[in-house]
Structure 1
Amino acid sequence: MSAPTEVFALTEEERELLPSDDDVAFYAEHGWYLSKKLFTDEETALLRSASEEFYAGRRDRTLPKHPARLAYWTPEKGDVQRHNDYIHYESDAIAKILRKPLLGAVAARLAQVDQIRVFQSTLIRKPPRPEEPSNVVPWHFDRDYWATSTSERMLTAFIPFHDCDTQMGTITMVDGSHRWQELSRDAVTARHFVQLGRDAESVLDRTAEANGAKVVKVPVEIPEGHMSFHHCRTYHGSGANRSAEPRRAISLHLQDGANAYREFPLADGSLAAYNHDELVRRTPDGTPDYSDPEFCPVVWDGPVPSAA
């Protein structure tokens, strides 16, 4: 691993916000964690305003190309659930907040690694339309879509811009599911989770049964400024937004410093692909470089921080 190019440090007040030893043990057992207040009210207000500017057309830069599987809402798609990948690349204001070292330190402590990089970030807006089919996110786990990654320590921070409860369709975890043995990854890897629909429930039930486990669903109610983290193999999903306001959030996918590209053959003989593969620079051996700082910036680098 290369030497850090910037200093990553925490104040004593920030160290108080790190997961305790018990929190780290909880994450290892259950596959998810609700953080303390990591963002200030001013930071969440900025996320809200910057997201509205983005929807209105503001870009600090644009992607050099749009890969085929890119999630990218545009106004002509209407009042559906919005997903916009690479928000950390296209919005400097949002990127600055997402790269807060405290967030990276929390992820590093949970994953027990010494470097955390952004893998992907998706701006999400779930409209207050409970009848809208796109509002429901079927059960899935993120590792299924990252078959080209070598790491098993990747994790995701779900960051709402406001208090987020079950009425708004908050994220729901399937407790302990990150420890289950998979039935098969290939069929799911070839599809995006929105294509799974009702199949997702049966996949979840069959996987739990094969592991001799029960499906325990835990809705995570998240106060403003807090966020949830979940392991890359934790099943999760979310329901409709039944409130009077849109649910605004970012799904921030994080990778450890050891993560790298690998070839992953599918059953039909083709290779699994991720959007990065068309965007990031190449390593000396010609493979996609998942440490490309343009798309995968470092948010923590140094020893695993300890709680105060």
Structure 2
Amino acid sequence: MIHQEPSRFALTEAERALLPTETEIDHYLDHGWYLSKKLLTDEETEALVEASERFYDGHRDRTLPARPPKLAYWEPSAGPVQRHNDYIHYEDDTIGRILRKPLIGAVAARLAEAEEIRIFQSTLILKPPRPEEQSNVVPWHFDRHYWATCTSENMLTAFIPFHDCDESLGTITMVDGSHRWKETSTNDQTSLHFAERNRDELEAMLEENAAFNNAEVRKVPMNIPRGHMSFHHCRTYHGSGANLADRPRRAVSLHLQDGANRYQDFRRSDGSWVSYNHDGLVRRTADGRPDYSDPEYCPALWRS
């Protein structure tokens, strides 16, 4: 059971010094991304590497009671493609404990100007050193597209590499200021995950939205030192290139929700319901809706 006590939401004086400054918060609000100070110790990043290898070898502290229809879940039979494993914070206690570090939540809370931050999803990622592998290239997208059942517009994502991460490893790259753009796309298009869509279509959508907003497509690679992480707004376009190095790129994509986020019904124009993987897992609210504050799957990282 992944429950937390209120006393866990506390920072040391040294940790408080690692929070974003007012200037850095203003930068995030203007640009849609933030590169953090060193939030994880070397011991914690070493533990993440070791735990991820145990996970790939088959270790699980628990497994999901059911497999959601759009679960990203690499298994050895898939071969040397880019690996994605959702719900890593739930299935692995070591990784989950580090991801629930209050300092990460406190940084996110300052950026999102929220009093509470909860995990929404976490995905363990391994990008193999295979430049020719097409799955290594993540096309331009923004996360809010896939969270149509969420009420919040302030959700954000922390990209957490387990080592120094630069362009040679195919680091995450932001489209500067794109979280401020107005969209030209329809809800039917944007409610599909990028893995379900044509890469050229997504590239064209980025260019179309930039032109509509009379904006420059300025791509900013996040060169992230070990123990640091990047944060981006849920409407910031981002992607990543091939791994050109001689070693895997290891990371977690940690999707975060502010305390005000709730489930909302969402339908496409043909009347079909949009659902998120949580919807068949989390507990229900009093009125029967999925509860995105369920502490088993969406634990709180921070409450001020």
Conserved 8 A contact 2:185-2:205: no
Aligned to 1:31: 32
TM-score by length of 2: 0.97
Q: CA deviation at 1:100?
A: 0.4
Aligned to 1:52: 53
The letter for the 2-side match of 1:55 is Y
Aligned to 2:206: 204
Distance 2:71 2:180 in 1: 29
Q: Which of 244, 260, 263 is the equivalent residue of 1:258?
A: 260
Distance 2:222 2:272 in 1: 37
The letter for the 2-side match of 1:6 is P
Conserved 8 A contact 1:151-1:259: yes
Alignment of 1:217 onto 2:219: yes
Q: CA deviation at 1:185?
A: 4.3
Aligned to 1:85: 86
Conserved 8 A contact 1:80-1:135: yes
Alignment of 1:156 onto 2:185: no
Superposition CA RMSD, Å? 0.9
Distance 1:95 1:188 in 2: 33
CA deviation string 1:98-130 (max 9, x = no partner): 000100000000000000000000000000000
**SS in structure 2 of the partner of residue 58 of structure 1:** coil
Q: CA deviation at 1:212?
A: 1.0
Aligned to 1:68: 69
Q: CA deviation at 1:183?
A: 1.4
Aligned to 2:166: 165
Distance 1:5 1:88 in 2: 17
CA deviation string 1:232-258 (max 9, x = no partner): 000000000000000000000000000
Q: Which runs of 5+ in 1 are unaligned?
A: 303-308
Distance 1:214 1:267 in 2: 31
Distance 2:261 2:191 in 1: 21
Distance 1:11 1:191 in 2: 41
Conserved 8 A contact 1:280-1:289: yes
Q: CA deviation at 1:5?
A: 4.1
The letter for the 2-side match of 1:133 is Q
Q: Which of 280, 283, 289 is the equivalent residue of 1:281?
A: 283
Aligned to 1:305: none
**SS in structure 1 of the partner of residue 122 of structure 2:** strand
Aligned to 1:106: 107
The letter for the 2-side match of 1:287 is R
Conserved 8 A contact 1:189-1:272: no
Aligned to 2:21: 20
Q: Which of 219, 230, 233 is the equivalent residue of 1:231?
A: 233
Distance 1:75 1:191 in 2: 26
Q: CA deviation at 1:191?
A: 2.3
Conserved 8 A contact 2:147-2:191: no
CA deviation string 1:147-202 (max 9, x = no partner): 00000010000000000000000000000000001112423344221233111110
Aligned to 1:130: 131
Greater displacement, 246-255 / 261-270? 261-270
The letter for the 1-side match of 2:287 is D
Aligned to 1:121: 122
Identity %: 67
CA deviation string 1:46-89 (max 9, x = no partner): 00000000000000000011111000000000000000000000
Distance 1:54 1:268 in 2: 40
The letter for the 1-side match of 2:142 is F
CA deviation string 1:5-38 (max 9, x = no partner): 4121111100110000000000000000000000
The letter for the 2-side match of 1:100 is K
Aligned to 1:140: 141
Conserved 8 A contact 2:62-2:91: yes
Distance 1:202 1:224 in 2: 34
**SS in structure 1 of the partner of residue 6 of structure 2:** coil
Aligned residues: 299
Conserved 8 A contact 1:130-1:242: yes
Alignment of 1:243 onto 2:245: yes
Q: CA deviation at 1:271?
A: 1.3
**SS in structure 2 of the partner of residue 198 of structure 1:** helix
Distance 1:205 1:246 in 2: 30
Conserved 8 A contact 1:148-1:262: yes
The letter for the 1-side match of 2:63 is T
Distance 1:206 1:81 in 2: 28
Distance 1:185 1:27 in 2: 27
The letter for the 2-side match of 1:217 is K
Q: Which runs of 5+ in 2 are unaligned?
A: none
